[in-house]
Amino acid sequence: MRRISAVLTCAVLLLCLLTGCGGASQSYRDYVDAVLLCTYRGETAAYLQLTGAEEPAAQAIHDAEIAHVADMLCYQATVDPAHINADTRTGFEGLAKTLMGRFRYQTTQANFDGTAYRVTVSASPTDFWTQALPALERVYKQDFAERFYKAPADSQELFFLEAEWGERVLTVLTPYIEEISYGEPETVTVFVRVDENGRYTVSAQDWEQIDRILLGLDAE
């Protein structure tokens, strides 16, 4: 399939004030557990309790992740998000939300390395992408490859063709949500740092790595 040159917008940089109690390592681990639940499941209770955040702020984290995973699926399938209509965009976000609800992960341990707490996350890759890719490639070769080759650059014809391709990709991907299985868990180390105001931060890059594993995007 053709390639789109694009830079993914990172998921939100998670920043909050931890007010939980208990042992330090357990508190950091509880924090990461709460953020994972809030981010992927939209379950905000633990996050609100630990951080003192308001519900709209917590929901915004979940909504941002839905949009981010939808973008990841688009770019992986060489769909340009700027050239799809609102219904197709809504469809990709619905697919992303369903996928996120089926992710399997858990924190396994937390320790301090002298500068930051390190929380280990075990993430099980889905085979969603590897299952769907052959079907996408067949559709592209049969119905789109020649048309993309012939469409003039920056033309209205190309714009509408890209929109059509986005619709077809969504149609092809959707049934595979019911056929997901999981690979062997992989581990990711999440670094939790605290600023002078006691606010915890986790980089978007750590969550990006977890996203890619859970979606199976780097599977060989």
Top pLDDT among 71 and 198 is at 71
- The answer to whether 172 and 136 have CB atoms below 8 angstroms apart is yes
- The answer to whether 165 and 144 have CB atoms below 8 angstroms apart is yes
Top pLDDT among 124 and 200 is at 124
pLDDT value, residue 219 = 60
Q: What is the pLDDT of residues 32-49, one digit of tens each?
A: 999 999 999 999 999 898
Token duo for residue 15 = 């920043």
Give the CA count within 13 Å in the CB-facing half-sphere of 150: 5
CA pair distance 87, 130, nearest whole angstrom = 25
Residue 186: other Cβ atoms inside 10 A? 17
- The answer to whether 211 and 69 have CB atoms below 8 angstroms apart is yes
Q: Among positive and negative, which fits the CA dihedral 157, 160, 164, 165?
A: positive
Q: What is the pLDDT of residues 13-32, one digit of tens each?
A: 444 433 333 345 568 888 89
pTM for the whole structure: 0.86
Chain length of the chain: 220
